Amino acid sequence: MSNTAKLELDGKVYELPVVTGTEGERAIDISTLRSASGAITLDDGYSNTGSCRSAITFIDGERGILRYRGIPIEELAEKSTFVETAYLIIYGHLPTSRELQRFSGLLTQNELLHEDMKFHFEGFPTSAHPMAILSSMINGSACFYPECMEPYHAETFDEEAARLISQVRTIAAFAYRKSRGLPIIYPKPVYKYTANFLHMMFSQPYADYDLQPEVVRALDLIFLLHADHEQNCSTATVRFTASSQANLFASAAAGVCALWGPLHGGANQAVIEMLEQIRKEGDDGSKFIEAAKDKKSGRRLMGFGHRVYKNYDPRAKIIKAQCDALLNTLKINDPLLDIAIKLETAALNDPYFIERKLYPNVDFYSGIIMRAIGIPVEMFTVIFAIGRMPGWIANYLEISEDKSSRIYRPRQVYVGANKSPYVPIKDRRAAE
C-alpha cells in the first residue's frame, strides 16, 4: 500500500503523506497542503476529518465495534465497573489492586464540594435545567481550588481528575435536589461511586435510600457504556477548549454544553419525550415512523442513527439486555418499552432506515432504564455527562501531554459579501 497520496490542482501534483492507524485505518495528512498549494480542504460537519491521533478509544462503525484502550466494550460491560473503566480510559491500562485502591481513595477524598458552593445552588430558579447548573457549577467548583484554575500540570493532574469525576456526581445530585425543593444529601464515604450517587439523589435526611444491587449495577453500566466515544461533538469540544490551554474544569464545562443538544447527549431525554408523545396520541408508532421519514415534518426517530455507526451500536445491544433484566427484576411493566420495541422492529424493517443504515443508538433504551430507577427525564443528559467525564479527562490529558499539539483553529471558505463601503445611517434603506 502506498505511503503517499497524489493530489492534482491546476496542473500541479502535490504528494501528501498517508498515515495508518494501529487498526489499519488510513488518513491523508493534509497539514502542508495550504502552504504548498494555497488550497484548504472543506468538510462540513467534519465527517471525513481526523482532527487528532488518539490512543484512547477505537470504533469501527461499519462492523459495530467499540473498544476502550483495546478492550472490547462487551468484555468491560460484563467484567468491569465504571470506576475501573475510568482508570483504564484515563491512564491507558487496567489498574492493579493498589492503583485502583488509590484512585478510589482519591475519589472519596474529593467527593465533597466546598461548603460555600451550596449558596451557588440557591441562585438558580427551581425550573433551571440541570445541564445549565452542571456546566456552571463545574467552573464554579474549580474557583475554590487555585491549582484547578491553572493549565495542565502533571503533578496536580491525578487529584484534579479525581476531583472532577467525584464532584460532577455530587453537583448532579445537588442540582436534582434543588430542582425538587429537597434538602441536600451529603455523600457517604462508605458507598462506592454509583451507590453514593443514588444515595445523594434519593435518600432523605431521616431515611437512607434502599440500594438494590441490580439498580446500582444498571446505573454503573450506563456510566461505563458512556465513558468514552472518541471524537464525538462534546469530546471534540473538550479538546478544542483544552487546545488553548484552558484548564481541565473549563474544558469539561465546555463539553457539558456541547453534550446538552438533542442531537447528542440530549437524545436520551428526547427519546422518552418522543415515546410519551406517541403514547398520548394513541399511536402504535407507525404514524411517528412515517413522520420521521418526512423531512418536512421536522421529526426524527430519536435514539436512531449515528454519524459513525452504520450498524447496530454495540452499546445499544448491551443496554437493551440490561433494560429487560432490570424491568424484570423490579417487576416494572413500562408501556414505553412496548412502544420502543414496536418502533425498533418497524424501523429495522423499513427501507428508509435500512437504506440509510439507521440503527438504534445508545440512547434508545437507556432512558427506559433510568425511568425504572426513578431518575427524572431532565437528569438523563446529566447522567450521560457523569459517564463521559473519564473520556473527556483522557482526551484533555492526551492533548495536554502532546508537546507537538497546537491550538485548534480550523479554516473556512468565506461565502459572504465582497468588499463594500460603510454606509452612513441616514443613507441606509431597509432591506425589502
* Contact flag: residue 256 with ligand CMC (CB under 6 A): no
Q: Of 141-149, 327-335, 357-365, 395-403, which segment contacts ligand CMC by CB under 6 A?
A: 357-365
Alpha-carbon distances of 282 from 285, 336, 338, 379, 420, rounded to whole Å: 9, 12, 13, 26, 57
Q: Do the bridges between strand 65-68 and strand 57-60 make them parallel or antiparallel, or are there none, so unpaired?
A: antiparallel
* Contact flag: residue 310 with ligand CMC (CB under 6 A): no
Contacts 24+ apart (CB under 8 A), 231-234: 231/51, 231/52, 231/54, 232/264, 232/307, 233/258, 233/259, 233/261, 233/263, 233/264, 234/258, 234/259, 234/264, 234/265, 234/388, 234/392
Rank residues 162 and 267 by Cβ distance to ligand CMC and give the closer one. 267
DSSP conformation class of 59: E
Q: What DSSP string runs through 102-128?
A: HHHHHHHHT-SPPTTHHHHHHTS-TT-
Q: How far is the CB of 83 from ligand CMC (least distance, A)?
A: 22
Task: Convert residues 9-48 into a mask of x (bound to ligand CMC by CB under 6 A) and - (unbound).
Answer: ------------------------------------x---
* Contact flag: residue 361 with ligand CMC (CB under 6 A): yes
Q: Of 54-62, 207-215, 263-271, 333-341, which segment contacts ligand CMC by CB under 6 A?
A: 263-271
Query: Among all chains, which residue has been given the C-alpha cell 462492523?
Result: 63
- Give the one residue of 168, 256, 267, 318 binding ligand CMC; rule: CB under 6 A: 267
Rank residues 294 and 401 by Cβ distance to ligand CMC and give the closer one. 294
Q: Of 76-84, 111-119, 145-153, 257-265, which segment contacts ligand CMC by CB under 6 A?
A: 257-265
402 tagged catalytic: no
- Give the one residue of 162, 302, 337, 386 binding ligand CMC; rule: CB under 6 A: 302
Which one of the listed residues 220, 228, 313, 363 is annotated catalytic? Answer: 363
Alpha-carbon distances of 125 from 37, 120, 121, 132, 290, rounded to whole Å: 55, 11, 9, 11, 39
* Contact flag: residue 292 with ligand CMC (CB under 6 A): yes
Rounded distance, CA 8 to CA 61, Å?
Answer: 31
Q: Of 24-32, 323-331, 354-362, 409-417, which segment contacts ligand CMC by CB under 6 A?
A: 354-362
C-alpha cell belonging to residue 184:
441536600
Which one of the listed residues 306, 324, 402, 427 is annotated catalytic? Answer: 306
Task: Convert residues 96-135 into a mask of x (bound to ligand CMC by CB under 6 A) and - (unbound).
Answer: ----------------------------------------
Q: What DSSP string runs through 358-412?
A: --B-THHHHHHHHHHHT--GGGHHHHHHHHHHHHHHHHHHHHHH-TT--------
363 tagged catalytic: yes
- Give the one residue of 120, 163, 229, 317 binding ligand CMC; rule: CB under 6 A: 229
- Give the one residue of 363, 365, 389, 393 binding ligand CMC; rule: CB under 6 A: 363
Q: How far is the CB of 82 from ligand CMC (least distance, A)?
A: 17
* Contact flag: residue 356 with ligand CMC (CB under 6 A): yes
C-alpha cell belonging to residue 350:
423499513
* Contact flag: residue 388 with ligand CMC (CB under 6 A): no
Q: Of 178-186, 201-209, 302-310, 416-424, which segment contacts ligand CMC by CB under 6 A?
A: 302-310
Dihedral pair phi/psi, residue 27, rounded to 5°: -140, 140
Rounded distance, CA 62 to CA 432, Å?
Answer: 49
Residues 6+ away with beta carbon under 8 Å from 39 = 9, 33
Where in the sequence numbering do the catalytic residues fall? 306, 363
Contacts to ligand CMC by CB under 6 A = 45, 229, 232, 263-265, 267, 292, 300-307, 356, 358, 361-363
